[in-house]
Amino acid sequence: SLMPKEPIKSIWQNKMPGFMKPVTRWFSRPNTVRGRVSNLMRWRFRGQWKCGEDRIGNEYYLYQPFPETPIRRFVIFRHGQTDMDNLPFLWYQWIRYQRNYPPTQTELDEYDQYLLDVAEKAAKIKERDDLERAQHPEFYAEQQKNFDQAQQDMTNKAQREVIALFASREKGLRIAAENKVEKMKQAQDIIQADRRHWTDSQYKDMVESYHDPKSVEPRDVEETVDPETQSADDIDSNAQQKHFKPGAWRPWQDDEDDEDEADKEDKDQQSQRQSEKR
């Protein structure tokens, strides 16, 4: 069976440097003849150029694997850590592309001296404050009390502002929901009114289509008369009055006429068949 390939080892892995690392650092130290020769060889075969080292021992490089790719900047930490906060300020600016050129040794020394001066001034100020606090404890206790009170007031103010913000937002959401419900009710009322108007108009059009509006109203059932006691003329007149009324058309009249004609045709066909059999 095929074994899986080993993962590619990265320069960012957390491990201690080997025993040859001090030798390579000495050979590739910048601003020396051996360091320039090492950079030329490394740039020719690996596309890397060592720009410098900091006082911690981290190495800073330029990287261009192919001529058509842009030049990148990266750092190799001394003990394999990847915490960018521990880098010196000037090298941090360079690695983040905040300055175009790597810092020189003179700039690094000046910045280190600036940090030492700031630390010395801070120590003197702290010593003076401690001495004054020892001489005037009541004054500094009152100042600390005022500071705590001001901080508490600011905290309470921030809490009130947050509560007011959430209350206003909740009020706005409630008003928006109420407006939406009101609009839905208005739309429903409009739909119902349009529906009633359409129904009334349809009924009105149907009534107006008849010349006699009473024809669509229910009527009493006519009294049945025995056809044997009536003459032929009375039967024809009653049939005409029953199935025809000038100016009044009934939707069911056509269906009844079609059924009567179909029954009459069936009776005629049956009578013809009986006469042929005879």
What is the model's pLDDT at position 7?
45
Q: For the whole model, what pTM was predicted?
A: 0.45
Cβ–Cβ < 8 Å for 76, 59: yes
Per-block average pLDDT, block size 10, for the chain (278 residues)? 46 56 79 87 89 86 89 82 79 91 90 92 92 87 91 93 92 92 92 90 76 52 57 55 50 57 75 74
Those residues with Cβ within 8 angstroms of residue 17's Cβ, 6 or more apart along the chain or in another chain: 78, 79, 80
Amino acid making up residue 210:
Y
Give the whole-angstrom CA distance, residue 81 versus residue 143.
44
Secondary structure of residue 198 in the 3-state scheme: helix
Give the whole-angstrom CA distance, residue 90 versus residue 73.
14
What is the model's pLDDT at position 103?
92
What is the model's pLDDT at position 2?
43
47 backbone φψ class: left, alpha, beta (φ>0; ψ -120 to 50): left
Query: Rounded to 5, what percent of the chain is helix, strand, coil?
Result: 65, 5, 30
Cβ–Cβ < 8 Å for 212, 245: yes
